[in-house]
């Protein structure tokens, strides 16, 4: 079908930003398979945010690729079909179970602060106070050195069978031929219209004709397709120092503000040398034993693995399965109230601050925190952090300090292959739409990850572990998790949602391991998120539960936070069977598929 509109504009780099929007699926656009939130079968599985990205992963698995190969295809395709939370302009954390060595490893692909930044990068010199949050977001100053592409290359070097070029092909084709706009994508774009409209290339790409593309139309991104093709030809050097990188740096230094936008976006100090210096970092996961299950997560710079692990260790002091549901939920909320106090006080980029990871994940420290839980009364936030260095037990604590929760919108997906390798991968450009700035001629949005730093100290007289510094990676809440049982994969799970990621992953684990829910039910269950705040964020469905009144009687206080998280998980069943589960409705639902469905 002929295109309805074609928009072309020359940007500051001299390259053209092009968006093609068709009124109905074009002949060249690949039909999307039907969306299904749950699939059961064997041979490999993928759960991700969009049907196109899930299909890309399944296709790679069918061709004999590993879970790492499929993960790269999924992530790159999400950069096309879920561009407001994913893509080349972002970063994330990759957790991998290697079936051959029976070990879990991690890659830290979090964005890094440019060398030219400083601890006062978000302090307005005119006032001595932090910049307004949105002023910082919509600027080059919020843009960290992206880590996703380096993560994909490193994962393939360690665990892949195919080349990066091979694994980028599915995403390139979707970008070139287009994808069918969903109602959720249309709604997201409408909500971002002001932000995207502030920057010329973003408006031309995502707001063709000045409005969000309609559900049912086909959105193409030929600039991103060309960018993927260039990386296929030239390798990641085209991005980390080559012409793509030079365009990225120019965009961060001089954000392409649209005429009449009414904002003066601050410049960022990123240089090409920052891109050349970037490395995705191999690492070891966090690990705790919870009721006979080995739970592996992401170590700092993420706070996810430690905070989920500490919360589980606290809950390990109680028999949740024997409690009534009000008490089980009360203990869940109180465990995260305490663990978030410790997170905020102690966790940051471990290359810059001394993170007491071993102590925070010790059973003895968890016991000192568990004794703070009063089964008859909710704690009063902010509760004070514990002292992980104390000896002899007890419940002594430090001074209470405020929480932080800047990170907002993310994506998570899970993959397993026919050999039993497993990927749990969370990546993001931070807020929905990131900084709002699209790199002209390249079709991808830049992150605003550096606003995940605390702009000014938050811990009173105690050191703040999450203040910015040159080269430092901002603290994240991303919690990609792999659970083994008797040495074999049992669950792979994760979610987007900023700081609520931690509580979402924890609640799903408690639902599945303690409360006896199936994985689909554990994911679908109404959510609440307590993060050492005066009120607990809760979904409307949680507020409507009969248990909520009982929780309020105990002093728990709730506010309607709308939808929380968009989880994706795989459970490994007996006899090689797989249960792949996503969301039936949150954020429009997610897409699960297996290689050989069970009929």
Per-residue pLDDT tens for 547-573?
Answer: 999 999 999 999 999 999 999 999 999
Nearest to 538 by CA among 305, 328, 329, 306: 329
User: What is the phi/psi pair of residue 170, to 5°?
Assistant: -60, -40
Check residue 11 and give its pLDDT: 32
Residue 114 has pLDDT above 90, yes or no: yes
Give the pLDDT score at 548.
98
CB 239 within 8 A of CB 245: yes
Is residue 340 predicted with pLDDT exceeding 70? yes
Question: What's the rounded mean pLDDT across residues 48-55?
Answer: 96
| 91-95, 209-213, 276-280: range with lowest mean pLDDT | 209-213
Q: In the structure, what pLDDT confidence band is assigned to residue 392 with cuts at 50, 70 and 90?
A: low
**pLDDT reported for residue 391:** 76
Q: How far is CA 450 from CA 206, 254, 255, 426, 453, in A?
A: 24, 17, 16, 17, 6
Contact by Cβ (8 Å): 86, 444: no
Residue 401: predicted pLDDT: 57
Residue 531 sits at φ, ψ, to 5 deg, of -130, 50
Confidence of residue 407 (pLDDT cuts 50, 70, 90): very low
Q: Which of 302, 150, 358 has its CA nearest to residue 236?
A: 150
Contact between 441 and 13 (Cβ < 8 Å): yes
Report, as an integer, the average pLDDT of 425-437. 95
Q: Please say whether the beta carbons of 221 and 238 come within 8 A.
A: no
- pLDDT digits over 567-579, tens only? 999 999 999 999 9
Place 588 in a pLDDT band, splitting at 50, 70 and 90.
confident
Partners of 426 in the β-ladder = 93, 412
Three-state DSSP state, 537: strand
Position 18 scores a pLDDT of 42
Please report the beta strands in 2-90, taking only residues with DSSP state E, as ranges in sequence order.
Answer: 5-10, 16-22, 38-48
Helices (H), 117-214: 133-137, 148-159, 164-177, 183-197, 200-206
Q: How far apart are CA 348 and CA 462, in angstroms?
A: 14
Q: How confident is the model at residue 586 (pLDDT cuts 50, 70, 90)?
A: very high
* Known catalytic membership, residue 410: yes
**Pick from 5-19, 31-45, 504-518: least confident:** 5-19
Determine contact, residues 43/418, Cβ cutoff 8 Å.
yes
Dist. CA 220–CA 17, nearest whole Å? 12
| pLDDT category of residue 24 using cuts at 50, 70 and 90 | very low
Q: For all residues of the chain together, what is the average pLDDT?
A: 92
Segment (H or E) for 246: helix 243-253
Phi and psi based region of residue 589 (left: phi greater than 0; alpha: psi -120 to 50; beta: remaining): left
Q: Are 434 and 447 in contact (CB under 8 A)?
A: yes
Asked if residue 48 has pLDDT above 90, the reply is yes
Lowest-confidence range among 235-244, 256-265, 406-415, 464-473? 406-415
Q: What is the pLDDT of residues 217-269, one digit of tens each?
A: 999 999 999 999 999 999 999 999 999 999 999 999 999 999 999 898 999 99
The tens digit of pLDDT for each residue in 481-525 reads 999 999 999 999 999 888 999 999 999 999 999 999 999 999 999
Structure tokens at 431: 């807020």
Kindly name the residue from 13, 81, 410, 500 that is annotated as catalytic.
410
In sequence order, what are the residues at sequence separation of 6 or more whose Cβ sits closer than 8 angstroms to the Cβ of residue 260?
Answer: none
């Amino acid at each position: 079908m002929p295109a309805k509109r074609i928009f072309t504009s020359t940007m500051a780099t001299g390259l053209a930003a092009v968006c093609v929007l068709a009124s109905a699926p074009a002949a060249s656009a690949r039909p999307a398979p039907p969306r299904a939130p749950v699939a059961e079968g064997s041979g490999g599985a993928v759960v991700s945010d969009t049907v196109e990205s899930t299909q890309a992963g399944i296709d790679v698995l069918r061709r004999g690729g590993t879970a790492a190969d499929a993960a790269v295809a999924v992530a790159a395709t999400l950069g096309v079909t879920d561009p407001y939370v994913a893509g080349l302009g972002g970063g994330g954390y990759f957790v991998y179970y290697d079936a051959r060595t029976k070990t879990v490893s991690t890659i830290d692909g979090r964005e890094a602060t440019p060398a030219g930044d400083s601890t006062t990068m978000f302090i307005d010199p005119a006032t001595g106070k932090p910049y307004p949050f949105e002023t910082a977001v919509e600027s080059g100053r919020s843009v960290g050195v992206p880590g996703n592409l380096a993560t994909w290359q490193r994962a393939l070097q360690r665990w892949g069978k195919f080349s990066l070029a091979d694994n980028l092909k599915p995403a390139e084709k979707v970008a070139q031929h287009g994808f069918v706009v969903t109602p959720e994508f249309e709604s997201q774009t409408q909500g971002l219209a002001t932000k995207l409209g502030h920057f010329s290339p973003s408006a031309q790409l995502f707001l063709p004709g000045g409005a969000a593309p309609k559900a049912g139309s086909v959105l193409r991104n030929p600039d991103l397709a060309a960018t993927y093709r260039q990386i296929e030809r030239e390798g990641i050097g085209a991005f980390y120092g080559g012409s793509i990188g030079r365009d990225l740096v120019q965009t961060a230094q001089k954000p392409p503000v649209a005429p009449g936008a009414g904002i003066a976006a601050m410049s960022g100090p990123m240089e090409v040398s920052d891109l050349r210096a970037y490395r995705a970092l191999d690492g070891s996961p966090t690990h705790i034993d919870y009721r006979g299950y080995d739970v592996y997560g992401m170590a700092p710079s993420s706070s996810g693995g430690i905070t989920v692990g500490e919360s589980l260790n606290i809950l390990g002091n109680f028999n949740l399965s024997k409690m009534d549901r009000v008490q089980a939920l009360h203990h869940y909320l109180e465990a995260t109230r305490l663990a978030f106090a410790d997170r905020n006080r102690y966790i940051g980029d471990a290359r810059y601050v001394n993170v007491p990871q071993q102590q925070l994940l010790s059973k003895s420290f968890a016991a000192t925190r568990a004794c703070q839980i009063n089964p008859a009364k909710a704690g009063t936030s902010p509760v004070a952090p514990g002292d992980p260095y104390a000896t002899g037990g007890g419940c002594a604590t430090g001074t209470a300090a405020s929480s932080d929760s800047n990170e907002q919108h993310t994506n998570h997906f899970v993959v397993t292959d026919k050999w039993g390798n497993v990927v749990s991968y969370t990546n993001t450009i931070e807020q929905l739409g990131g900084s709002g700035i699209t790199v002209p001629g390249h079709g991808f949005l830049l992150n605003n990850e550096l606003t995940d730093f605390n702009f000014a100290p938050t811990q009173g007289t105690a050191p703040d572990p999450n203040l910015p510094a040159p080269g430092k990676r901002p603290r994240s809440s991303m919690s990609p998790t792999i659970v083994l049982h008797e040495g074999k994969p049992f669950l792979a799970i994760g979610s987007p949602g900023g700081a609520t990621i931690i509580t979402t992953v924890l609640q799903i684990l408690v639902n599945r391991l303690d409360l006896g829910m199936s994985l689909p039910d554990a994911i679908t269950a109404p959510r609440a998120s307590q993060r050492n705040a005066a009120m607990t964020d809760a979904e409307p469905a949680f507020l409507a539960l009969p248990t909520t009144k009982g929780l309020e009687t105990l002093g728990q206080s709730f506010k309607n936070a709308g939808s929380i998280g968009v989880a994706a998980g795989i459970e490994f069943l007996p006899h090689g069977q797989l249960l792949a589960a996503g969301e039936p409705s949150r954020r429009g639902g997610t897409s699960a598929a297996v290689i050989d469905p069970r009929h």
